[in-house]
Structure 1
């Protein structure tokens, strides 16, 4: 499949916040905990826009899976495809996996799993800071909505266009929480 065909099959879609997303996370988290070695998992948590109260988001649940150490990271990365995840990217101690992308388009439930080493939890800082500061969450929502149509078929461009905001807020969050995560 060409990049253009993929972009047409899997466009950026934003919808109002749905309480059901927490249930998606809970079920998928339980499924993964039953399939993966628990001693290798430091933390598995719901992150991304679906974990931020009251804002529009892609109907895709992001999860952060922190491995206890480098050996656990490699082991988990090797096991996730057996759990139905497609390996998308791997850069040093960061890997990304997707589940719910089918040849017909999106499945009813879609997941992005971010595999990191313990303590690499920028997504948690970002999520918790926006949940504590609803005005910033709404600013993020406005940014996302403004980018939706121009980047509807360009996921990388959409992510890059949000990058400065995400970096700025994550740095504020790290100062605010002072290394809590």
Structure 2
């Protein structure tokens, strides 16, 4: 079921705690770990799951990343249909989050950052996005693929605006 909740001011610290848990094991492989998605935008309503992206210089490092994450309880799930972005299961003892790995030069990752950063600096657009998400969550309550697809036009428009600037 798709649930959208009001912004939780604990999301940044939840991100930081997961990031800190990953930093040591991924040292030397990961350039940085970014807080992405709606929980990374202060004040934005979101699904209550923090999204993190670990950025590697090249996906050649992916096998080593998979090996270092396995002892922490993460299992590689492949790209889940998003080329260039690799997903991992969340360990049962961890707070709710989605962990992804992508290369620093991945165009899709650049779009994710552009969207996040635009919403952070344009509160009216962030509010409009929240309203859309509430509406779509009601409409597509049990259809995550439909919910995601229905947000695409809005997201693509904002990414186009953000990358033109």
Range of TM-score over shorter length: 0.7 to 0.9
Change (3 A) 1:165 1:82: farther
Q: CA RMSD in A?
A: 1.9
Q: Is the 8 A contact 1:70 1:117 kept in 2?
A: yes
Q: Is the 8 A contact 2:55 2:103 kept in 1?
A: yes
For 1:61 and 1:49, the matched residues in 2 are separated by 8
Deviation per residue, 1:116-136 (Å, 9 max, x gap): 101332221111111111111
Partner of 2:15: 25
Partner of 2:6: 16
Which structure shows the bigger proportion of residues in strand conformation?
Answer: 1
Stretches of structure 1 lacking an aligned partner (at least 5 in a row): 1-10, 177-181
Q: Is the 8 A contact 1:64 1:123 kept in 2?
A: no
Partner of 1:93: 84
What TM-score does the superposition give when structure 2 sets the normalisation length? 0.87
Does 1:143 find its partner at 2:129? no
Count of aligned pairs between the two proteins: 160
Change (3 A) 1:88 1:70: closer
What TM-score does the superposition give when structure 1 sets the normalisation length? 0.80
Task: Give the secondary-structure state (helix, strand or coil) at the position aligned to 1:153.
Answer: coil
Change (3 A) 1:78 1:22: same
Deviation per residue, 1:62-112 (Å, 9 max, x gap): 011111113213322443343222433425532122316x6xxxx782111
